[in-house]
């Protein structure tokens, strides 16, 4: 996409396009450009984002009231939702999205993990097989290896879903309310898996209404408010993020 736009510049000068490309950081992992999304039954946009860059090294805490569009934005970033208007340009890499109520396959914990491993090829598949026992230990699921996944508790289900993502070794990991209704022990185990991924070069986005060990890993805040998306440094504006998160819903109760 970027190469095509540069070629277009050479053929026909376009000051607006030239300025937009000049402003895009070379280290951007994702670039949102005039991204607009709306529910078909509503005339008003859910959000309308002129431009935003997710830069290398940024771990993002995504904030916003219920219904502001956090889940929809994460699904758009992970290509699970079609873009209605505008564009999302991304560098090459693997993106994993973890929903707060993840889908688990029928069968055992191990079967769920092997399904992911079999989706990989070559050295990646071999590496995931070799890492399986260590991953089960990190998530404290070793004793549940042969247990039916549908019988797991909420915390165990979240850890299994995150372990599936861990086996894929994503470049970007999007966590949608990962700590909702979980006890401290489960959050701690998820934290161990996520920090292991970060140590290997993964960057994360966490959508959460409360501070927890996972949001503590973030250094950047994106806030959806009134249909707009703003960015701030957490060290300077964490109180602002929290206040925006507690603001009244502007759209629907759930997205």
What's the pLDDT tens digit per position in 105-119?
999 999 999 999 999
The H-or-E segment that residue 165 falls in is helix 154-168
Kindly report the CATH number assigned to the domain that includes residue 42. Answer: 3.40.50.300
pLDDT tens per residue, range 158-217: 999 999 999 999 999 999 999 988 999 999 999 999 999 999 999 999 999 889 999 999
Q: Could you tell me the CA-to-CA distances from 10 to 17, 22, 23 in Å, in that order?
A: 11, 14, 18
Task: Tell whether 252 is covered by a domain.
Answer: no
pLDDT of 103 higher than 70 = yes
Residue 96 half-sphere exposure, CB side, CA atoms within 13 Å? 21
pLDDT for position 91: 81
Whether residue 101 is contained in a domain is answered as yes
Threshold 0.85, pTM exceeds: no
254 falls within a domain: no
Instruction: With respect to residue 36, please indicate whether it lies within any of the assigned structural domains.
Output: yes
Q: Please count the residues of the chain.
A: 255
Which element (helix H / strand E) includes 186? Answer: helix 184-199
In percent, the amount of the chain with pLDDT more than 70 equals 81
Mean pLDDT on 224-231 = 95
Residue 251 lies in a domain: no
Structural domain for 36, as ranges: 2-245
- pLDDT > 50? residue 156: yes
Domain count within the chain:
1
């Amino acid at each position: 996409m970027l190469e095509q736009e540069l070629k277009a510049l050479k053929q026909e000068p376009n000051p607006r396009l030239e300025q937009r490309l000049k402003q895009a950081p070379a280290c951007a992992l994702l670039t949102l450009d005039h991204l607009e999304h709306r529910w078909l039954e509503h005339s008003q946009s859910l959000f309308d984002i002129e431009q935003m860059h997710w830069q290398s090294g940024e771990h993002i805490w995504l904030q916003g009231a219920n219904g502001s569009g956090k889940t929809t934005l994460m699904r758009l970033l992970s290509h699970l939702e079609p873009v209605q208007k505008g564009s999302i340009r991304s560098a090459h890499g693997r993106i994993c999205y973890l929903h707060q109520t993840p889908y688990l396959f029928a069968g055992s914990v191990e079967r769920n993990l092997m399904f992911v491993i079999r989706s990989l090829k070559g050295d990646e598949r071999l590496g995931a097989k070799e890492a399986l026992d260590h991953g089960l230990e990190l998530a404290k699921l070793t004793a549940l290896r042969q247990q039916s996944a549908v019988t797991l508790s909420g915390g165990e289900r979240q850890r299994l879903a995150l372990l599936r993502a861990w086996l894929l070794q994503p470049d970007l990991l999007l966590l949608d309310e990962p700590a909702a209704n979980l006890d401290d022990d489960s959050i701690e185990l998820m934290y161990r898996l996520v920090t292991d991924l970060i140590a290997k070069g993964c960057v994360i986005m966490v959508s959460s209404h409360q501070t927890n060990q996972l949001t503590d890993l973030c250094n950047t805040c994106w806030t959806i408010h009134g249909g707009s998306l703003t960015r701030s440094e957490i060290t300077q504006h964490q109180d602002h993020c929290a206040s925006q998160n507690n603001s009244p819903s502007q759209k629907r109760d759930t997205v």
